[in-house]
Every structure is written in structure tokens, then in C-alpha cells.
Chain A
Amino acid sequence: MNHLTPEMRTRAEKLVALYPEPRSALIPLCHLAQEQDGYLVDDAMIEIAEIVGVTPAEVRGTATFYDMLHTDSVGRYVVGVCTNIACLLAGGDELLAHAEASLGVRAGGTSEDGLFTLEETECLADCDIAPCVQVNHRYVRTTTPEALDSLVAELRAGERGEEIPPHGTLIRVERTVGLEASKDTIAAERATARAAAAERATVEGS
């Protein structure tokens, strides 16, 4: 049973092929699943587990470590307001309080219409345009309450969709060139190298 759409599944398989070991694609695949569903639904985690060759529990266990991976539903727009030190000095607390009031949710919550999830974030590495705000991990550079309000209004009106696509930090990341060597060749090369390394280890150990 496939949960990922055929298009997603193809992208997922291409990603897996890039890595020496399939498990390395686990996190990229979680980003793809979030692009499709907004968050990690159980069936997606089961399918990712199957693709990368681990158990669904390992996918969940890994995903829950990371702030960007959500195992509960989130709004169409995830709005992150940074309150870490540089942003704090620029009024990050106040901007977050304003966002809570104007969206009608506390940090960590999702608005009733399902449009917005508000998050208080740690440093987003854009500390010169502070306080820093990201929507779906795009820097929006709205540092004042007024600017934030007009952004929210535009998002509500369905504007800025081009600039702020749905979830999934990989949505516009596409590798246009494949690996030139086949998977089998790579696997064979790795096996040879492993064997050689093991042999050296026994020689050194003896």
C-alpha cells in the first residue's frame, strides 16, 4: 500500500539512490512526506521505513528528535518567530506576543481555521534583520508588528503563495543530474573497500 503519491515516490527513490546507505535518506524523505501532507502521518512513516530499510518506530524515533519534523498536524503556514539573543535585543518577545494576539494562538498552537501554526524558534541565522520571522522556512523579513500583520493578511487572502510554497524545505530543490555510476557498481566498490579494510585490520591486529 502506497501512501506517497507516485510522483513523491519517484522523488524519494531518486534521493535514496544518492546515498551510500539508504538510511541516510530518512530525513530528506520526511521532508518530502511533509511537503505532501503538511506533517508526518503514520502511513508516511511506515512507507519511509520500508523505503530506507528500517522499522517505522525508527523513523518516528528519529523524526521526533528534530524540530522541523512534525508528528502532529500543523497549519498551512508555519510561522516561526525567533526570540534568541539577537532577536531578543530587537524586541523578539514583543513581536511574538503580537503574533499570538493577532493569530489568536499561543506559540506552539494552530489557529482554528487551520491556516497558521505559530512557533517560537531558536536562532534562524538571520540576526541582522531582527526579530527574524520565517514562514514555511522562508525568510519574510517582517520585523515590526505592522509588517507582520500585513503579511498575515496577505497569506489569508491567498497572496504570496508563489514566494511561500507549502511545507517541505525541499519543494524546489531538484537534482537534475543522476549518479553516473549504477547502484550496483557503487555497491560492489564499497564491498571491495570494506573487505580490504577488514583485511588490513586483521593484519594490524595480529
Chain B
Amino acid sequence: MSAVPKIVTSRREYADSYTLERYKTTGGFDGLKKALSMTPEAVCAEVDAASLLGRGGAGFPAGRKWSMLRKSDVSYLVINGDESEPATFKDHLLVEHDPHQLVEGVIIAAFALQVTQAFIFLRGEFALGLERVQSAVNGFYAEGALGSNILGSGFSLDIVVHPGAGAYICGEETSLLESLEGKRGFPRIKPPFFPAAIGLYGEPTVVNNVETVSNLPWIVLNGGSAFAALGEGRSTGTRLFALSGKVRNPGVFEIEMVKTTFRDLIFNPSLGGGVTGSGEVKAIIPGGVSAPWFYPEQLDLPLGQDEVADAGSMLGSGSIVVMDTSTCMVKAAWRITRFFSRESCGQCTPCREGSGWLERILYRLENGQGRMEDIDLLLDLCDNIAPGLTWPPQQTTICVLGPSIPSSIHSAISRFRDEFVAHVTNGGCTHG
């Protein structure tokens, strides 16, 4: 593993990694300068060759998304830094610790797309992140690396740093655009499936995640094929994994894709360092709380997008939660469901009504008022939201928040039905 470069966390060890001075002495601007010496098409070609999959959750190839941007006199680039998927905290690291790398990546993407106005949308709770990204933007302007005629290249770009105001749903890209237009964060009806056709203010727009674009300076500098040489199959390069829950060393780790397994990540002394509590894994959530759970027998799966998808879940936002054998599965499913019921935007009946109903049933099971028939009622309601309970789920709603609700409930009941039964017969939870 020693030969694997740190692509997005190379400045992490410096206490002043967020300053312009540190950035300049550690290769800052190099990727940008190289990109500006190329044609936009050549930059796109490198990103295509890199097979850079989006790091926001859906894992769509960035190069392909870019090629879909409808030609127009006005188009926009919007960076998604809403990071609200529970247990996801990798963009938090990037915006606070390497804001210049992010801004450099945004400029490279904008140049490749020939977009002259970009927005960086950061969740409002990132007060420090907002300060740091804004001062990085100010610094780029001061260096002539933003604004008119960037570094003498003839390319011009303005970047606006925009604060969210606390709503998970604004991470969904069409909701984010509504929010950026100053409205309630209601996801837009599809089609069009991509804002690349109709986006911000009705104009073609590319939405990319913070981590996705933070990879660009390295890709341009080292070439797309160097990136694609890391990892395997479609999952190339390195990726940030946010590990939390019952582990000794929770944190964000930059790891080569596919070459590491869930077990390595959780148990390797230089990574997760092992399981706390009982010391034994009961279940893990592999890619944010929208993902179906995995169990001990899946720990040897590699951390790759298709590998995890083939096993019936998703790598999603790259966040892995470890639950040890002392964890109450009913409570875990209840808390996740309560999150969805609080964050549902309310436009679609299955999501709005279903999430609240499921949450109330799980609450009463956990607290001793549950009935035996509640267990099948839960599954039945889940089936109403995502018919057939398949993975990926069938969609009955405007966005995929709704069909994500059943993931944890269906996982918990399929594997730990006895625990649900015990909650009924014992009159509630008997875990600590």
C-alpha cells in the first residue's frame, strides 16, 4: 500500500494545510496551470480516461456527465458540499483542510466545461468551512487565478460560495438548485434526469461533489491514465472513506479503490483499528444510511463501486458505520427512519406519510408498545414505498430519498427478525 499516492489528502499532515502559503509551497496551482495550457477538450479527455466516478453518492462518471452538458451561451457549474448523509464526513475534511485544492478543482472543471460562473454550495453548519473556502476564493483572486483572464489564459471565471441553511434534502442535486435559487428545497420532477439539460435558472448545469472535483488537480497533473492505474475495473483512483460507529479509530481514510476490503478498513491497526464494544461486528452500513446493510460474511468484499453493488448494496457516499453485537437493531433502524421522516421534503405521499408511520411503529416496538403484527406491517409499508423491496429500489417518488427509507428496516428485519419478536415479547428493548 505504500506506493499509493495521497491524491486528495496530500496536505493533511500540515497544521496550516488550509492556508494559501502552504498551498503554494506544496504544488498549489500546478494542476491549474497545466490545465490552462491544454485545450478544454484535452482536459475532458483526461478526466474521461481517469474514469473518475462521482463521489457524491450516485457514482456517475464525471467525464460522461460533462459530455452531457447541453451547449448554451449560459451554463453553470455547481459544487455539492451539502454533506448531510448520516455518517458522511469526508467533504468536511476537504473544505476545512484543503479549500485551495477544492477551488483549483472547480476552476479546472469550469475551464473544461467552458463555464464562467460556478457556485460552491456548502451546508450552513460548516461555519468554519465557509470561512476557509471563501478565503481560498479571495486568495485565488488576489493571485490572478480567478476573475477575468485567469493567469493570462484568456479564460474567466467567478466562484460564489453559497451557504445552505440546514436541510438534508438539499444534497439531492435538483433540490440543491432550487435552494440556490432562493426557494424551499423541493426536488424537481424528472425528466430531465440531469441538470445538464435544465439546471440552475433553467440553464444547463453540471453538479459535482466536493471530493469529485478535488481530484482534478492531481488528474490533470499526472494524467488520467495514472489515476486509472489505481483501483480496478470502473472503480479507479483512491477514495475517501469515512469510518464511524463502534471502531477504535474512527475517521476519514484515503484508500486505493477495490484493493482494500471492509475487513481491512475496520480492523487494520493503521486504519479502523478494530471493533469496540463487544469487539464483534453485527452489521455494517456500507455507504450512508440509504444503503442496505452488510453482515460479517460480507466483510471480505472489496471497497469498489460495482463489487458492493453486485452484493446488493451501495458504496454511496463512502461512509461506513460499524455496529457491534451489543447494538440494538430495532433502535438503529428507528433512528435512521426518524432521520428520513424529519428530512422528507413532503412532496410525495409514500415518502412523507410512509416515513412518519414507519417511525412511529419502530418507536413503539423499541419502547414496549409493539405488537407482533407490526413486524409484517413494517415490511408491507416499506413495500408500498419501494415496490418489491428490490435493490436498487423501484421508484414511486420524485427523488430517491423515499425509496431509501426501507433499506435499514428491510435489512434489520430480514436478518434480525428474532430481535423484533423479542421486543414484542419482552415489552421493549432489553439492550443497555
Contact = CB atoms under 8 A, between A and B. Distances in A.
Contact of B165 (A30, A85, A128): A30
Contact of B124 (A68, A88, A127): A68
29 contacts: A21-B181, A21-B182, A23-B181, A24-B180, A31-B124, A66-B165, A68-B166, A69-B165, A69-B166, A86-B86, A89-B244, A89-B246, A89-B327, A125-B88, A127-B87, A127-B89, A127-B250, A127-B319, A128-B242, A130-B250, A137-B126, A169-B124, A172-B131, A174-B134, A176-B141, A177-B142, A192-B73, A196-B73, A197-B73
Interface residues of A, number: 60
A54 B245 CA distance: 45
A41 interface: no
A136 B160 CA distance: 23
Nearest to A67: B166
Given A24-B180, A130-B250, A175-B134, A85 B84 contact: no
Given A28-B162, A85-B285, 11 more contacts: A31-B163, A63-B165, A85-B321, A86-B244, A125-B92, A125-B123, A128-B243, A137-B124, A138-B127, A169-B127, A174-B138
- The range of chain B's interface size is 35 or more
A42 B246 CA distance: 46
Interface of A: 18-21, 23-28, 30-31, 52, 54, 61-63, 65-69, 83-86, 88-90, 122-128, 130, 134, 136-139, 169-177, 179-181, 190, 192-194, 196-197
B134 A85 contact: no
A124 B125 contact: yes
B289 interface: yes
Q: Which of A25, A69, A124 lies at the interface centre, i.e. has the most chain B CB atoms within 10 A of its CB?
A: A124
B87 A123 contact: yes
Listed from nearest, the 7 A-B pairs whose CB atoms lie closest are: A67-B166, A26-B182, A66-B165, A193-B73, A68-B166, A23-B182, A128-B250
Nearest to A134: B125
Contacts of B161: 173, 175
A86 B321 contact: yes
Contact of A62 (B117, B184, B252): B184
B148 interface: yes
A52 B181 CA distance: 11
B147 interface: yes
Nearest to A27: B165
B295 interface: no
B111 to A, nearest CB: 18
